[in-house]
Each structure stands twice: as structure tokens, then as C-alpha cells.
Amino acid sequence: MKPGLLFAQERLAQVREVCQSEGCVAALYAFVPNESGEYHLAALFSKTLAWSGRLDLELAIAEALGLENVELIDLKRMPLVFRFNVIDQGNPIYVGQPEQLAVFIEQTIARYAAFYPLLEALYWTVETRPLAEDQLAEGSAALP
């Protein structure tokens, strides 16, 4: 994904102004989470916003992007694999607090690196295990 692929540079500049004026957005990423091709926005917040403040921010970003509405995904509240995929495959469209973003990225990568060998071992345990007789019978019955 390339920066500005979906949004015009003028729109992105307006989003950056909104984020900068708010002060609680450390970083904002655009990413595509699945095959749908829809862009999503994920934010790294430096402090927790009240519900009304978060809604105001979402409305301001939607207006800056020329959209009807926007939902910001809070990166700190997402599962580890999701967080890793956003920082690995997403595009940062605003970085207001690079130090906080660097700490978040470092922590996410360190946790993911510690978790990945366990995930890989589980995968190979499941994939290399022989199929049970009942699974073999089900598979052959389904074939014509």
C-alpha cells in the first residue's frame, strides 16, 4: 500500500492538521485488514479520550477526508497480531509523537517475536499430526 493511494494529499494534510490540533493522537495509520480492499484507520492515542471527545475527533477526521463517518481503531486495545500487522503493513499518515510511536512499535515487535515461535510450533504440531480414522472417512465420503 502506498501513501495517498486512496486519499488526496490535500485531504491527508487536513487530517494531519486535525490530529495535530487534538494533541492526543500520537500516530494514525491507514491499512487494509483483509481482502475487501477497504481502508481502515487505526490510532495510537497518547491519552484516553472521553467518549464525546473521541466522537468529535472521528467526525473531524471524516470531514477532512470527505467521508460520511470514520471509526478510529485504538491500537492499544487490539490483539497483538492485529497490532503487528498494522505497523508492518499499514501506512502511517500522521506521526505527531515519534517517541511514543517508537516505544509502541518496539514493544509490539518484541512481544510478537516472543510469541511467534509458539505459534509456529503449534502450527507444525497440528499440520504434521496424522489424521484420525474418522476424519479420513469423512474426507473420502465427500469426494465423488
pLDDT of residue 8: 86
In the predicted model, residues of the chain with pLDDT beneath 50 are 1-4, 142-144
Q: Please state which architecture CATH assigns to domain 9-130.
A: 2-Layer Sandwich (3.30)
Residue 29's SS3 state is strand
pLDDT of residue 4: 40
pLDDT of residue 57: 95
Give the pTM: 0.75
Residue 90 DSSP label: S
Predicted confidence (pLDDT) per residue in 88-119, tens digit = 999 999 999 999 999 999 999 999 988 877 77
pLDDT of residue 135: 59
CB neighbour list of residue 78: distance below 8 Å, 6 or more residues apart: 42, 86
| CA-angle at 103, arms to 3 and 40, nearest 5° | 35
